[in-house]
Amino acid sequence: PHVEGQNEEPAYNKAILEQLKILMDHYDTIKTKGSKEHFKVINYRKAITAIRALDYEITSEAMALKVPRVGKKIAQKIGECIALGKIKKLDHLNWDQERSKVETLFRSIYGVGSEMATDWYNKGLRTLDDVRKLPDLTKNQISGLKYYDDLLKRIPRAEVEEIGKVVSASATKLHPDIQVQVTGSYRRGQPDCGDIDFVVARPDIDFGGDLFVIMDHILKDLISQGFLVDHLSLPVWSDEMEGQMKHFKYMGICKLPGEGQVHHHIDILVVPWMHLGAVLLYFTGNDIRNRSMRLLASNRGMRLSDKGLFAGVMRGKNRKKINEGHWVAGRTEKEIFDYLKIKYLEPHEREC
Ligand code: DCP
Ligand code: MG
Ligand code: MN
């Protein structure tokens, strides 16, 4: 095959070639098959190859247009490069790339959404240190920044299992029948996890008062062990919850004892026994699977939530619910699949 000196420094038109290449690479990353960007990549490649082969300097748009395989649009860009030192489009490109890079960084802080990230960018913030100086950070954002590096680290399954033992031991100290299960990506069999998601329940315990006692015990115990080091969201208790089927959720930051351990995000749910299947299904996910199961339920006149499967749901215009339906399944996951008349999916089959 014909091998051209692709890596050799071109003698002429260095700036033009550099800038056209950046644009070509940009279109290459955003193109889809048959899109206009796809054809732009082809045109840029042809033009770049042609210009590479020249043994003279292009000094005007008109001259560029005379180069075979250089079209009108690319010639115009070359004109900009000659007249302004830079193709105008590149400024936007850099600006967009910089913005999206910074906003992605900000969104990777726990407790920061896209709106906040955009807002901070518009205010001129660019780095985590810029953000750290803000006077009005929320408590969660402060924790997110404090443990930033640790929280980005994936958790290997073996460590999830260690953490599982700590939480189980604490729960069974209160009562040996209490069941603690690790759900989320761990239960789906992923090799590593972003956080650890626990579901806790006790056979035939369904109501708020008893459930809160379990949550309260686990939290106090794990805090006193120094295992839970920071809280992002604590469950709250009010007296009218006593006889209600309540779900209690804790979100926080944990660390195994010993030197060199990494801080991780931990979620703990304490839920009614009667809802356990629905909660396991929801908290095992993944989120896309959850959405499709909910849609399937709704297409069959039912409603699926983390409380259970509800039948006899009436919907009006725009699928808006007229009533909530009545609970028909949710003690076990199997029960829900059966009622929906679909094949049971093992947790590892629920990855989408
Ligand atoms: N979930 C959901 N919709 C959301 C968030 C969560 O349906 N917006 C459900 C599905 C998830 C489960 O809760 O699988 C646990 O949420 P996580 O955010 O902990 O997600 P995963 O455990 O699946 O993945 P990761 O390893 O990133 O924690
Ligand atoms: Mg998770
Ligand atoms: Mn989680």
Distance between Cα 55 and ligand 2 center (Å):
59
Distance of CA 272 to the CA centre of its chain: 28
Please give the model's pTM, rounded to 2 decimal places: 0.79
Report pLDDT digits (tens) over 20-35.
Answer: 999 999 898 888 888 8
% of the chain residues with pLDDT over 90: 88
Question: What does the pLDDT average to over 125-153?
Answer: 97
Distance from residue 267's CA to the centre of ligand 1 (Å) = 10
Q: Is 195 in the pocket of ligand 1 (CB under 6 A)?
A: yes
Pocket lining: 155 vs ligand 1, CB cutoff 6 Å: no
The Cα 299–Cα 122 span in angstroms is 43
What DSSP letter does each residue of 16-29 carry, written as one string?
HHHHHHHHHHHHHH
For the chain, the distance separating the N- and C-terminal CA atoms, rounded to the nearest angstrom, is 43
pLDDT value of position 167: 98
Q: Is 329 in the pocket of ligand 1 (CB under 6 A)?
A: no
Q: What is the distance in A from the centroid of ligand 2 to the CA of 284?
A: 8
Which atom of ligand 1 sits closest to the CA of residue 188? Answer: 23
Structure tokens at 60: 């005007």
ipTM higher than the 0.85 cut: yes
3-state secondary structure of 311: strand
User: What are the residues facing 268 on neighbouring strands?
Assistant: 198, 250
Residue 2 has pLDDT above 60, yes or no: no
Of 281, 302, 276, 94, which is closest to residue 202 (Cα–Cα)? Answer: 276
